[in-house]
Chains A and B, each alone.
Chain A
Amino acid sequence: MLEKAIILAASAVGAGLAMIAGIGPGIGQGYAAGKAAEAVGRQPEAKGDITSTMLFGCAVAESTGIYGLVVALILLFANPLIKLL
C-alpha cells in the first residue's frame, strides 16, 4: 500500500513538473503574436497572410508543450509505473 502511495504521489508531482514545458511555447507564441502585430501595423493590407502564417508557426512551436501535456496525461490517466509493483 505504501509503495503504491509513493508511486501515485510521485506521479502527481511528475505530471505537474511535466507541465513546466508549457513555459517555452508560451514565450514563443507570445513573441510570434507580437511580431505579427508589428507586421500588421506596418502593412495592414497583408493581414490575412500574416495571420495564417502566424497561426501555422504557433501550432508548430506548440509541439514541445504538447509533448509535456502528453507525458502529464499518461502519468495521470494511464500510469505505466503502477504496474511495475
Chain B
Amino acid sequence: MNIEVNGPKIYYEIPILGGIKITESIVNMWFVMAVTVAVCIWLTRNLSVKNPSKKQIVAEKLYLMLYNLVKDVMGEKYIKFVPYIGSLFTMSILGSLSSLFGLRAYTADFSVTLGWALMTFIMIQANKIKHKGVWGYIKSFAEPVAFLTPLNLVSEIANPISMAFRHFGNIASGVVITSLIYGALASLSKTVLGFIPNDFISQIPIFQVGLPAILSIYFDLFTSFLQAYIISMLTMVYVSGAE
C-alpha cells in the first residue's frame, strides 16, 4: 500500500525569465474560468424587462444576493466592489468544488490563495492611502506611539499571510485526509478479502465505495463553501475598514 500526497503537477515550462511553470492548478483554473464565462454569457443572453425568462430570474436573484451582501457589509459607498467580490467568491467555491469532478482543487495550491490575499492587501493599502493621503498613511504606522511601529508593520504584513494560509490549509488538509482515508480503506478491504484465493474477488474495493462520500460532504462541500464565504467576507471587512 502506498499513499501519495503530491503538489500540483508541472505540465510545461516556458523558458523565459528563469522558467515560468504551467502547473495543474493554472490549467484547472483556465478550465473553471472558461466554464464560468460560458455560464455567464448564457445567463445574460436575451434579457428583457417585460417578460423575464426563468434563467433571467435566477441570474437576477444571484446578483441581488451578492449586491445585498456587499451593501450590508461594506456600505453603499463601496458598491463598485460587487464584481470583484463576486468573482473572488465564484472562483474560490468552484475551485474547491472542482475536486468533486476529479480535478485537483486549485485552492489547495498556496500560490493561488496567496495571489488572492495579495490582491486584497494591495486594495487595503490603496484604500488607506486614498483616505489618509501619503503622509497620513506613513504616519498611521507610528500610532499610538512611535516605538510601536515594528508591531504595526508586522500586523499589517500578517494579514495577507494568514488569509492565504487559512484558505490553503483548510482545502489542502481535506486533500491529505481524503487520500489517507482512501489508503486506509484500501488496506482494510485487502485484509478482509485477502484470504480468498480468487484474484478477481480479492481485488474488489468493498470499503472504498460510498464511505468516503459521507466524509466528502464535510471536507469538500462544507469547507469549500465556508472558505469561499470567509475569504470574500474578510476582503470586504478589511477593505471597508481601512479608512
Contact = CB atoms under 8 A, between A and B. Distances in A.
B180 to A, nearest CB: 11
B5 interface: yes
A66 B161 CA distance: 11
Interface string B7-30: 100000000000000000000000
B165 A63 contact: yes
By CB atoms of chain A within 10 A, which of B5, B7, B162 has the most? B162
B170 A66 contact: yes
Interface size range on B against A = 10 to 19
A67 B165 contact: yes
Interface residues of A, number: 13
A50 to B, nearest CB: 15
Contact of A63 (B5, B162, B227, B229): B162
B172 interface: yes
B166 A77 contact: no
B165 A55 contact: no
B226 interface: yes
Given A56-B233, A73-B172, A77-B5, A66 B226 contact: no
B230 interface: yes
Contacts of A69: 169, 173
A61 B126 CA distance: 27
B176 interface: yes
Interface string B165-194: 110111011001000000000000000000
A66 B166 contact: yes
Interface string B223-239: 00011011001100000
Contact of A59 (B166, B168, B173): B166
Nearest to B110: A70
Contacts of B168: 70
Contacts of B227: 59
A28 to B, nearest CB: 14
Nearest to B169: A66
Given A59-B226, A70-B165, 10 more contacts: A56-B230, A59-B230, A62-B170, A63-B165, A63-B166, A66-B165, A69-B173, A73-B172, A77-B5, A78-B7
Interface of A: 55-56, 59-60, 62-63, 66-67, 69-70, 73, 77-78
The 9 closest A-B pairs by CB, nearest first: A66-B169, A59-B230, A63-B162, A69-B169, A63-B166, A66-B166, A66-B165, A70-B169, A77-B5
15 contacts: A55-B226, A55-B229, A55-B230, A56-B230, A60-B230, A60-B234, A62-B166, A62-B170, A63-B162, A63-B165, A67-B162, A69-B169, A73-B173, A73-B176, A77-B5
